[in-house]
Chains A and B, each alone.
Chain A
Amino acid sequence: MINYALDLGQTAKPEAVLFYILAPLAVAAAIGMLTVKKAVHSAILLAWVMVTLAIFYIAQDAAFLGIVQIVVYTGAVMMLFLFILMLVGVDSSESLTETIKGLRWIAITASVGFGGLLISLLGRATLGRSTAGLADANSNGNVEGLAQLIFSDYVWPFEVISALLITAAVGAMVLAHHERTVKRVTQREQSQARFRSGSLAAAAGLPGPGVFALHNAVDVPALLPDGSPAPSSISATLKARGDMLDSAQYQLDNNDNAAEDK
Chain B
Amino acid sequence: MTSNLIVYLIAIPLLSSAVLLLSGRKANKWGHLLGTLASASSFGVGAYLFTQMLAQPTEERAMTQKLFSWINVGSFNVDASLLLDQLSICFVLLITGVGTLIHIYSISYMSHDLDRRRFFAYLNLFIAAMLLLVLGDSYLNLYVGWEGVGLASYLLIGFWNQKPTYATAAKKAFVMNRVGDLGLSLAIMIAFASMGTVSFAGIEEAAPKASTTTLTAIGIMLLIAAAGKSAQFPLQAWLGDAMAGPTPVSALIHAATMVTAGVYLITRSNFIFDAAPTAQLLVVIVGAITLLFGAIVGTAKDDIKKALAASTMSQIGYMILAAGLGPVGYAFAIMHLLTHGFFKAGMFLGAGSVMHGMNDEVNMRKYGALRKFMPITFITFGLGYLAIIGVPPFAGFYSKDMIIETALNAGGIKGILLGSAALFGAGLTAFYMTRVMILTFTGTKRWDDEAHPHESPILMWLPMAILAIGSVLSGFLFTRGDALVHWLEPVVAPHEHGEHSELLPPIVVSGLALTIVLIGISIAVMMYVRRPVADVAPENVSALTKIVRQDLLQDVANEAIFMRPGQALTKSLVTIDEKVIDGAVHGVGAMAIGSGSELRKTQTGYVRSYSALILVGAAAIVLGIWVITQ
Contacts and interface: CB of A to CB of B under 8 A. Distances in A.
A110 B615 contact: yes
Chain A at the B interface: SS class: helix
B111 interface: no
Contact of A113 (B609, B623, B629): B623
Interface in A144-176: none
Contacts of A110: 612, 615-616, 618-619
A121 B619 CA distance: 12
Interface stretch (A34-42, A100-108, A129-137): A100-108
Contacts of B629: 121, 124
A8 interface: no
B73 interface: no
A106 B622 contact: no
Contacts of B623: 113, 117
A80 interface: no
B609 A100 contact: yes
A230 B274 CA distance: 128
Given A113-B619, A114-B618, A114-B619, A106 B626 contact: no
Given A100-B604, A103-B609, A121 B622 contact: yes
Q: Do most interface residues of chain B lie in helix, strand or loop, or is the interface mixed?
A: helix
Nearest to B624: A117
B606 interface: yes
Interface in B605-630: 606, 608-609, 612, 615-616, 618-619, 622-623, 625-626, 629
Category for how many chain A residues contact B: 10 to 19
Nearest to B623: A117
A39 to B, nearest CB: 16
B619 A106 contact: no
A118 B622 contact: yes
B505 to A, nearest CB: 112
Given A100-B606, A114-B618, A114-B619, A121 B626 contact: yes
Contacts of B609: 100, 103
A106 B612 contact: yes
Interface in A92-132: 100, 103, 106-107, 110-111, 113-114, 117-118, 120-121, 124
Interface string B384-398: 000000000000000
Given A121-B626, A121-B629, A124-B629, A100 B608 contact: yes
A113 B604 CA distance: 24
Given A111-B619, A113-B623, 13 more contacts: A103-B608, A103-B612, A106-B616, A107-B615, A110-B612, A110-B618, A113-B619, A114-B615, A114-B618, A117-B619, A117-B626, A120-B626, A124-B629
Interface of A: 100, 103, 106-107, 110-111, 113-114, 117-118, 120-121, 124
The 8 closest A-B pairs by CB, nearest first: A114-B619, A117-B622, A110-B616, A113-B619, A110-B619, A110-B615, A117-B626, A107-B612
30 contacts: A100-B606, A103-B608, A103-B609, A103-B612, A106-B612, A106-B616, A107-B612, A107-B615, A110-B612, A110-B616, A110-B619, A111-B615, A111-B619, A113-B619, A113-B622, A113-B623, A114-B615, A114-B618, A114-B619, A114-B622, A117-B619, A117-B622, A117-B623, A117-B626, A118-B622, A121-B622, A121-B625, A121-B626, A121-B629, A124-B629
